[in-house]
Structure 1
């Protein structure tokens, strides 16, 4: 009877150990998946948020230069090349926007970026400098004001895009924190499993020997 009871205890302990080992294996798979998710999250923060914020800054810089050329049209300056300079800044913006469009855009980003692109391509194309200034009539204030309004609208789109980068970046960081916290919980669970495993091994190896010694 004692031998049968001992075998049952050993069998039970071995089953417990087998289950624990299976849980360890599952935990290992979960950990590897968590690390992949964290790595992907930080890659997304860099590629789709930090890099994009750099795009927005460079676009704003070119847009400011366009506005400066438009607003200072009455200053003594060689404006024979001004149309070409404005066009060059617009080409720079278009190139950056094309790179922007290749990133992982949210629905809101797509809307603001499309509106911004439309303003650059359709509303800020200055074909003739005389639309802004002429020696006979001076500055065309109405036309300059119209361009300023379009530039302000484009800048508002950029501000909204920059705000989205902050919001989406915060979401990604929160996602990473959730994964890290979940990993920490699993680590604590692993410690508990190790304790149970140690008790099971003690039960098999030492309690049984102790019982035989007493007999």
Structure 2
């Protein structure tokens, strides 16, 4: 037998359960929204700070290779009267790329390698006179060219390390994104479970058979 007081108590319990479930679903949606924002930021970081930077490194490497070719006099048919201007043009292009590189989110290790590379370009490969590379009387200055080649080798090593950092950091960011995506999937399953419970509670409250009057007063 269930009197009016019992019915009111049941109704209050049902409303309380439904309210809690709705609050939990709302809280889950807020959490999910933050998770998607975090995932979006992560993939933006992968693109801006890793993929774009890898493009910078490729362009810098290409210009550095061109500088080495000019220093080593690899092309016998080339007009070397303008070689200094060519080298300085490539160095300016490299420095412009470094400025863009420095604006990205650098790790401490990345910053160290980039600064070392920058110093090599600014100081060690800053060739002011063509006579440092070649003179009509003596030909190619092999000693000086070898010194420049050694500095270029150090610069290439810095670039290789910078490229490796992009791979490592990119992999970390992708792993972070995977964790966030997996967490979102778990929350999605949790929301489905809450909705099922909510439907069951509503069904019981609305559609279960109410006791007949004679049952109440019997």
1:156 equivalent to 2:157? Answer yes
User: 1:56-135 residue pairs with structure 2 within 5 A?
Assistant: 56-72=57-73, 75-135=76-136
TM-score, length-scaled by structure 1? 0.94
> Residue 69 of structure 2 contacts residue 75 of structure 2 at CA under 8 Å; is this kept in 1?
no
SS at match of 1:113: helix
Aligned in 2, Cα 1:21/1:127: closer, same or farther, shift over 3 Å? same
Q: 1:13 to 1:99 in 2, by over 3 A?
A: same
Distance (Å, rounded) in 1 between the aligned partners of 2:199 and 2:77: 87
- Taking a change above 3 Å as real, the CA distance of residues 17 and 75 of structure 1, as seen in their structure-2 partners, is same
**1:120-168 superposed Cα distances (whole Å, 9 cap, x missing partner):** 0000011111112212112221111100010010011111111111111
Q: Distance in 1 between matches of 2:213 and 2:52?
A: 71
Instruction: Give unpaired runs (5+ residues) of structure 2.
Output: none
Number of aligned residues:
214
Shift of 1:102: 0.8
The offset of 1:2, in angstroms, is 2.5
State the match for 1:211 in structure 2: 211
Check the 8 A contact 1:70/1:132 in 2, yes or no.
yes
Aligned counterpart, 2:176: 175
Shift of 1:10: 1.4
Q: Please name the residue that 1:17 is paired with.
A: 18
Give me the whole-angstrom Cα distance separating, in 2, the residues matched to 1:113 and 1:211.
80
SS at match of 2:212: helix
Of 150-159 and 128-137, the range deviating more from structure 2: 128-137
Segment of structure 1 superposing worse, 76-85 or 186-195: 76-85
Cα distance in 2 for partners of 1:61, 1:211 equals 85
